[in-house]
Amino acid sequence: MSEEPQNNIVNRYLWIYALLLVAMTALSWAVYLESGRVEFFRPIFDRADRFRDLTNYSGKIAHLADGGAALGSGLPVYNYPAPAAYVYAFFLRGFPHHPVHVFLALLLAGLLLGAFLLWKAAHLRGARVSGLTAAIAATVICGSPMAFIADRGNLEGVVGLILGTGLVLFIAERYFGSAVFIGLAASIKPFPGLFFFLLARKKRYREIAVGFAIAAGSIILALTALGPTPVKAYEGLQPGVNRYYNNYIITVLPPDERRFAHSIMDCMKSIASASFAAPSQQAPAQASPRPGGSSPVTRSLSDEQMHAIFLASLLLAAGTLVFILWRIYKLPAVNQMILLAVAVTLLPPVSAEYTLIHLYVPFGAFLIFLARDAAVHVEIKHSVILTILILFALLFSPLTFFNMFSGDVKMCLLTAMLIVVSVNPMPSSIFKEIEDPQLIKLTN
């Protein structure tokens, strides 16, 4: 009996990915509906919270002329670098009557364009493409990170589009453009700056310097615009940063937020809270204000416990980053992109569902590797291909049937992805690490 062609195996595994993603998404919603719409099984926040990560800032953004102090004081908490204020202003002041519609249209356009470019890059003449098409379509339609961003109106969507553009330019070997967009993304939220290590691996130090200059220049310009001086603006923003530190980092998140948090520190706080925290006196058990929900007793940790967790998580995050940087210097570009995306989602002190959008372009690079290389002439264990696809499918699914532990499960999945990808090289023709299979066919 002849051995099954590698292309057929990869095609079947891509179908498994697509069906698993659809099934897990459907199961998450089915459990929520079957539970009587209990809040803590809902795959997204309640309808009353929809788009509030954007619309809640309309008051503050209307008073940008009052300086950094107005932005950094009061509620909602503003803890971003200064350039983020002008991203908010683009939507809230540039389109005051329809900021949400413009935000959603931008997300949809970026997602569809990315899907089209991915299909074109991964398609190989004469190869079976039904699995590839199904995988891309399932991610576009059912992907939880993008749905979560759209529902919240969260700024991470804009950061994801900017960073994603930088990563696409990196794949296209447009390194200056890549550095510019990575720098812009890092000026809004700092952790995407870890992707500069992709350029460092290729010894593109001049481009890295340009990217750092773009990030620093954007921050200085935004602080200057906020005024009255860059220093005063920076000082004015600090109350918001301090409030965020006290209310989100050095505290146990409320259950409805905790279930979407998957960073190392989030997981450590969750375990500690479940293991030895005492019920909070400040937030006794009470009925949830949201329809169909119920609020369990909020649990609190002492200041000493929280600071111990904070220090331990910093050490663990630092060790994880050192391991990732050590591995990316020994691995092909597809591995590097996935590992750095894991770092961006796993290492921040607080990291919610929407940060998983930074896995989208690395996932696309992996699909290109599967369609163009693994399906043709690159030897890689079938179990490795299937494992990585299953991990991506689960990470892109809501998984809220795990209730308050959904985020902890995703932290475990990210850790598993880190381990699997760090020990299985995936050289790709699109990065010219191996010969292009299309050229091989033409030559033969």
- Is the pLDDT at 363 greater than 70? The verdict is yes
* Res 3 pLDDT > 90: no
Is the confidence at residue 323, as pLDDT, over 60?
A: yes
Residue 292's nearest CA partner among 64, 7, 102, 35 is: 35
User: Among the listed ranges 1-5, 71-75, 83-87, which one has the minimum average pLDDT value?
Assistant: 1-5
pLDDT value of residue 291: 33
CA distance 30 to 43: 10
pTM comes to: 0.92
As a whole number of angstroms, the longest Cα–Cα distance in the chain is 78
Average pLDDT over residues 149-165: 97
| Residue 254: closest CA among 293, 301, 296 | 296
Confidence of residue 299 (pLDDT cuts 50, 70, 90): low
Q: How confident is the model at residue 276 (pLDDT cuts 50, 70, 90)?
A: low
Least confident of 112-121, 351-360, 413-422, 435-444: 435-444
d(CA 105, CA 99): 10
pLDDT tens, position by position, 31-68? 999 999 988 899 998 888 899 999 999 999 998 888 89
Express each pLDDT in 375-386 by its tens digit. Answer: 666 678 999 999
Confidence of residue 285 (pLDDT cuts 50, 70, 90): very low
pLDDT above 50 for 2: no
Which pLDDT value is given to residue 292?
32
Quick one: pLDDT at residue 89?
96
Question: Which pLDDT score is estimated for 217?
Answer: 98
**The predicted structure's pLDDT at residue 277:** 53
Cα separation, 299 vs 272, in Å, equals 10
Taken in order 36, 38, 43, 49, the sign of the CA dihedral is: positive
Instruction: Give me the chain's average pLDDT, please.
Output: 89
Q: What angle is formed at CA 95 by the lines to CA 93 and CA 101, rounded to 5 degrees? A: 130
Reported as a single tens digit per residue, the pLDDT across 398-443 is 999 998 899 999 999 999 999 999 999 999 988 988 876 554 443 3
Model pLDDT, residue 436 = 66
**Ranges of each domain in the chain:** 6-278+294-443
Please provide the distance, in angstroms rounded to a whole number, between the alpha carbons at the two ends of the chain: 26
Higher per-residue confidence, 49 vs 444: 49
